[in-house]
A and B are shown apart, each in its own frame.
Chain A
Amino acid sequence: KQEVTQIPAALSVPEGENLVLNCSFTDSAIYNLQWFRQDPGKGLTSLLLIQSSQREQTSGRLNASLDKSSGRSTLYIAASQPGDSATYLCAGQMNRDDKIIFGKGTRLHILP
């Protein structure tokens, strides 16, 4: 059974720094992996989706990587801003019609 883990649960970083959020999964036969952002009291917003055949995806200051052999994904945020403060969740899917399994998220606080 696939499990998705995000460590640490919370992280504080000074504004302007580059940072990396980590996600690990137990089954390397993953179909795709997604990163979401959730602001307090709101729903989830999709940031990046990496298919199993891909190694990374980029959107603006965000870069997500996928290493199936090691069971890891990272979300890199460049030049962090206070507006990046939110909870970031990763989620894995084992095949097209399978449910998505979410990690519990990393709560990120960018210090002004």
Chain B
Amino acid sequence: DVKVTQSSRYLVKRTGEKVFLECVQDMDHENMFWYRQDPGLGLRLIYFSYDVKMKEKGDIPEGYSVSREKKERFSLILESASTNQTSMYLCASRVYPQPQHFGDGTRLSIL
């Protein structure tokens, strides 16, 4: 069974800090994704990656960057955290044509 692991379930950081959210998958999937989920707005795609060292912007990349140095790991970076980045962050991985597999999410609070 595919396992997507996000490093933290809950995280509290301060405005202006650089924040790293880590995601690891154990099934050698090429595609990995970062979403944020907010009440009333649903899931929105931040960044995705089709392979190592490749990245593509999603719908809301502003204020975020990503890193994919190894196939199994996809990191989301908040360069300078702001309060409007308080959200639930979800990582997913996929190998076509199977559906995406999601991690349990990281609930991030920026104070």
Contact = CB atoms under 8 A, between A and B. Distances in A.
B42 A105 contact: yes
A49 B98 CA distance: 8
Contact of A102 (B40, B42, B97, B103): B42
Nearest to A97: B50
A42 interface: yes
A99 B101 CA distance: 14
A96 B96 contact: yes
Contact of B102 (A43, A97, A103): A43
A41 interface: yes
Contacts of A96: 96-97
A100 interface: yes
Given A41-B107, A44-B90, A99-B48, A104 B102 contact: no
Interface residues of B, number: 23
A44 B102 contact: yes
A10 to B, nearest CB: 13
B22 interface: no
A100 B100 contact: yes
B40 to A, nearest CB: 7
B51 interface: no
A34 B94 CA distance: 13
A49 B102 contact: no
A46 B100 CA distance: 7
Given A41-B105, A41-B107, A46 B99 contact: yes
A45 B105 CA distance: 12
Interface string A79-112: 0000000000100000011011011110000000
B99 A34 contact: yes
Contacts of B102: 36, 43-45
Interface of A: 32, 34, 36, 41-46, 49, 51, 89, 96-97, 99-100, 102-105
Interface of B: 4, 40-43, 45, 48, 50, 58-59, 90, 92, 96-105, 107
